[in-house]
Amino acid sequence: MDKCQKHDVECEKPDANEDSLCNSVHVQWPGEGSVGFAFIRPKMPFFGNTFSPKKTPPRKSASLSNLHSLDRSAREVELGLEYGSPTMNLAGQSLKFENGQWIAETGVSGGVDRREVQRLRRRNQQLEEENNLLRLKVDILLDMLSESTAESHLMEKELDELRISRKTKIAPLHSSLGDRAKLHLKQKKKGKKRNEYINCTLAC
């Protein structure tokens, strides 16, 4: 029994010559009972087993590669700089990567060329814009025709009134005719401007 100075307890050390995997320690406090602890002391064979790693398999020789059996043209296709565009097959559809986009190849697995579809869409959009412009021009021409027709009916009505009033009043007729002539010249200038606008619209 040895006395531990730190905790003032008595400990019973195991026998150093005892070759056992399980040793016990008994601790006794002053004025109290003793407590026993058991621990396992593993064997440490320092000279028994040696470290023997597995041997690495030998590397394959470079001559086992089939590249040396290929001819020059085949090697250029496989390992040359002209690798071409990357392609892939997705759900039976062959796609080709061009200009940052995947484009379906023409005539492969019933696919439609995407470039042709894009061209047709652009052409369709262009035709729709031209159609809208033509509709706008037609609407403008119809409005101008309606305005000209209304002015023509108004002038005919005024002429009829002048013919009737000429029989009764001769003096006021000259002043009225002067006013009508001024109105006619004004409408003529307006019609000239309208024709210029029509020609400009049709030219655009």
Q: DSSP letters of 31-63?
A: TS-EEEEEEE-----SSSS---PPPPPPPPPGG
Residue 27 host element (H or E): strand 22-28
- Can you give the pLDDT at residue 167? 73
Output the pTM of the full model. 0.31
Residue type, 43: K
CA dihedral 133, 137, 138, 143 (to 10 degrees): 140
CA 74/CA 79 separation, integer angstroms: 8
Higher-pLDDT residue of 41, 69: 69
Q: Where are the domains of the chain?
A: 2-40, 132-203
Residue 108 DSSP symbol: S
- Can you give the pLDDT at residue 86? 79
pLDDT band at 113 (very low <50, low <70, confident <90, very high): low
- Can you give the pLDDT at residue 61? 62
The rounded percent of the chain whose pLDDT value lies above 90 is: 13
Please report, for residues 61, 72, 104, 191, 203, the alpha-carbon distance to residue 198 in angstroms, rounded to integers and kept in the order given: 87, 72, 48, 10, 8
Query: Which residue do the tokens 């379906």 mark?
Result: 104
194: pLDDT strictly greater than 70: no
pLDDT band at 6 (very low <50, low <70, confident <90, very high): very low
Residue 194 host element (H or E): helix 171-203
Contact assessment for residue 37 and residue 25, using Cβ atoms and an 8 Å cutoff: yes
- Can you give the pLDDT at residue 118? 84
For residue 84, the Cα-to-chain-centroid distance in whole angstroms is 25
Render pLDDT for 145-162 as a digit per residue (tens, 0 to 9): 999 999 888 998 888 888
CA 94/CA 109 separation, integer angstroms: 7
CA dihedral 41, 47, 49, 54 (to 10 degrees): 130
- Can you give the pLDDT at residue 131? 95
- Can you give the pLDDT at residue 136? 94
Render pLDDT for 13-45 as a digit per residue (tens, 0 to 9): 445 444 444 445 555 555 555 555 544 455 555
Q: What is the mean pLDDT of the chain?
A: 69
- Can you give the pLDDT at residue 35? 52
pLDDT band at 1 (very low <50, low <70, confident <90, very high): very low
Residue 17 DSSP symbol: T
Residue 143 host element (H or E): helix 114-168
Higher-pLDDT residue of 81, 14: 81
186: pLDDT strictly greater than 60: yes
> SS3 for 91?
coil
**What are phi and psi for residue 109, nearest 5 degrees?**
55, 35
